[in-house]
Structure 1
Amino acid sequence: MKADSEFLILGGGIAGLATAIALRKIGKDVLVAEAADAIRPVGAGIALAANAMKALSKIGVADAVTPKGNRLRDFSIYDQSGKLISKTHAHNPEYGNFTIHRADLHSALLSFLDEKRVLCGKRSVRFDKKAEEYTVFFEDGSSLSAKHLIVAEGIHSPIRRQLLPNSLPRFAGYTCWRGIADNTQLRIQETSESWGRKGRFGIVPLQQNQVYWFACVNAPHADSEMKDFKKEELMQIFGDFHQPIPELLQATTSPIVWNDIADLAPLSRFAFGDILLVGDAAHATTPNMGQGACMALEDAAILMACLDKNADIPEAFLAFEKRRLPRTRQIVIQSRTLGKIAQLENPIGVWLRNLAFRTMPASVNESQLQKLYHVDLD
């Protein structure tokens, strides 16, 4: 029986679409199976740091993405009253740093693929292997077969769970709300976070007079009351933060999206013969360093390089694993640690944290950023 494709990619998010584009670039036959019933413009803002832009350039789509984003030059952290804690110059002259609406990035990636090769309504349940093929079974009762399987279906991937039964998402200890506000009157231009004892509030300007914001507070896992918070409840928490935070909440025009923050404990492997984990299915991280989408895009570019150099697919997958495990592990650990620091509530701990950040030499921040941005994609 002939396989439906050479490579079956599970997941039509950023990782899955970017990987499909990268593999098509080197002549591979690719089919994408997405769990959602339709590809819709969903999500909020994300960061595309210089390493992500470098990866987008490598797979040939940077020119389509750049016009949809806002160039990020500086990132500031304030305390609850608006006093500066730290300021980082994030300008990268070669590739730049951008903020973009997730839906805009998603639509740009989707435009590079044949719509007939992106199937919707395909939520995976399990896989079987017979002879030289994998068959993936979906909730709708259908199945697809392929010679090679790339799992890009996110942190809750059932296929990863089948491969690694103990690879469960772990709660970070805080919950998050996200929204999009009208920036016509506010005219916010600075990307920032504000760290208070009651929570943390982030601001990310986007194009088309929009601002993406997020708000995080320490909370029990899956709190049923917080799930239904609207602007009024968030104003009770963040209403006494410095401006423009209260105004921004009031100017919110989108539905408010809620979710607990979680990641994956670093895995020991990504490659399983002709199966490979990528993106959040492999190395889901907390969003504190803005590297979730960036690492997914790096994955696509590096996998393209590995497959282009090695005709033996399992060997190419192992080469990818060897290159990606150390970097993704480091970022997952650093991001989780930063989140704990940013979510401190103890007054003495908050004071010491703010003092440490204020007195940290600018060269330390710059060095850390350059290390983050530098990635070998060849």
Structure 2
Amino acid sequence: MKTDFLIVGGGIAGLTTAIALKKIGIHAILAEASPEIRAVGAGLALAANAMQALRQIGISEAVIPLGRELKAFTIYDQKGKPISKTNTDPANSRFGISNFTIHRAALHSALLARLDAGQVLTGKRSKDIAEEGDAYRVDFEDGSSITAENVIVAEGIHSPIRKKLLPTSKIRYAGYTCWRGITDNPSLQIEETSETWGAKGRFGVTPLANGQVYWYACINSPHANSTLKDWGKKELMEVFKDFHTPIPQVLSATRPERIIWNDILDLEPIDRFAFGRIVLVGDAAHATTPNMGQGACMAIEDAAVLASCLSKNTDVAEAFSAFEKRRLKRTHNIVKTSWTLGKVAQWENSLLRAIRDKAFRMIPAKQRQKQIEALYAVDLG
């Protein structure tokens, strides 16, 4: 099989990129590793920067009804005393669009619906990539191959293609592991998005559309801790039993089968995204810890920026190089800041936690607002 543009990976980065390219007249074939494209995870944030990118590629209006507006984010201590509160609503007045939370499955469905029949191939897990004349041949584990003039690698943090292009690229374990879940909200009546920093870990709560609540729980642990593989609702309720309301109630209301677990990883910042007519996007380029809620947002930004670069450059290699120049600094900053924030939030020492909480409480609201608006001010071209 031959094509002009091949996107390897059908997650948020790959799907959004295919839509963005379609808008500028580029038809890309998308090859996804799984037998079917489906969401893995629970909820996620679409901050104003991501919403601006979705608006630029023409799909924000399709996504907005599926989400829930996020106007503020509060960090609490274990007893429920506020550590900091950030008002995200001014993003609407400055950028003309709000922040949203959304179920990952709803976002995937909305993105997939914008692509043409036959544009997405499933069961195509990449194995290798090689130059073949003036093109590239991507080999898949099922024994098939696709030859493409241009390749966009969107296959996530464990990308085999990135590993071949950058053999020394390093996936890092953040030092803490995470459980995520979805439960129904009507009985809980949770309206606020929050995160609680306690002695034994962190717990985040995010209301979603359709009467649901997304939550996550992080505790410090060795990497790939086999003792945690059988942990579920009972064990989490024991760890977080002394956390303030509604955390124990959220856990109690969650069905055990709706809880998923994984270690938190990121990709140590790399210095290249573009390799001739091959380019890395999304988690394949800059996987980040979730502490800033920017993983999916950065992938969506990538799609809009890459389409902008391709619309301005007839030479694809030059467009990919321009994309790299526009994205390296911003994504590096996000990865590094998120990594540091996660380390600080996971402190267990009581003295350090007291100093941290006091320092966060002393940050002026205007300074927090300035920081959040700088995050949302993305260059989409």
TM-score (normalizing by structure 1):
0.98
Distance, in Å, in 2 between the alignment partners of 1:289 and 1:30 is: 31
Give 1:163's aligned residue. 165
Residue 213 of structure 1 pairs with residue 211 of structure 2: no
Residue 187 of structure 1 pairs with residue 189 of structure 2: yes
Which of 341, 346, 357 lines up with 2:344 in the alignment?
341
Residue 243 of structure 1 pairs with residue 241 of structure 2: no
Q: Deviations over 1:46-90 (max 9, x none)?
A: 000000000000111000000000000010011011111111101
Which consecutive unaligned segments of at least 5 residues does structure 2 have?
none
Aligned counterparts, 1:44-63, within 5 A: 44-63=42-61
Residue 252 of structure 1 pairs with residue 265 of structure 2: no
Read off the aligned partner of 1:169 and give its amino acid letter: I
Give 1:350's aligned residue. 353
Which of 45, 58, 79 lines up with 1:81 in the alignment?
79
Read off the aligned partner of 1:300 and give its amino acid letter: A
Q: Deviations over 1:284-318 (max 9, x none)?
A: 00000000000001100000010000000000000
1:228 Cα deviation after fit: 2.0
Distance, in Å, in 1 between the alignment partners of 2:318 and 2:143 is: 33
SS in structure 2 at match of 1:38: coil
Give 1:121's aligned residue. 123
Residue 35 of structure 1 pairs with residue 40 of structure 2: no
CA contact (8 A) 2:286 2:332 kept: yes
Distance, in Å, in 2 between the alignment partners of 1:118 and 1:228 is: 35
CA contact (8 A) 1:35 1:120 kept: yes
Percent identity (aligned): 62
Read off the aligned partner of 1:283 and give its amino acid letter: H
1:41 Cα deviation after fit: 4.4
The size of the alignment, in residue pairs, is: 376
1:168 Cα deviation after fit: 2.5
CA contact (8 A) 2:72 2:87 kept: yes
Which consecutive unaligned segments of at least 5 residues does structure 1 have?
none
Distance, in Å, in 2 between the alignment partners of 1:248 and 1:272 is: 46
Distance, in Å, in 2 between the alignment partners of 1:115 and 1:158 is: 27
Give 1:292's aligned residue. 295
CA contact (8 A) 1:227 1:259 kept: no
Give 1:324's aligned residue. 327
Read off the aligned partner of 1:186 and give its amino acid letter: L
Q: CA RMSD, aligned part only?
A: 0.9
Residue 371 of structure 1 pairs with residue 374 of structure 2: yes
Q: Deviations over 1:246-269 (max 9, x none)?
A: 110011135211110010111101
Which of 111, 126, 134 lines up with 1:109 in the alignment?
111
Residue 306 of structure 1 pairs with residue 332 of structure 2: no
Give 1:22's aligned residue. 20
CA contact (8 A) 2:24 2:311 kept: yes
1:133 Cα deviation after fit: 1.3
TM-score (normalizing by structure 2):
0.97
Give 2:176's aligned residue. 174
1:230 Cα deviation after fit: 0.7
1:116 Cα deviation after fit: 0.7
Distance, in Å, in 1 between the alignment partners of 2:17 and 2:230 is: 35
Give 2:143's aligned residue. 141
Distance, in Å, in 2 between the alignment partners of 1:168 and 1:17 is: 25
1:213 Cα deviation after fit: 0.2
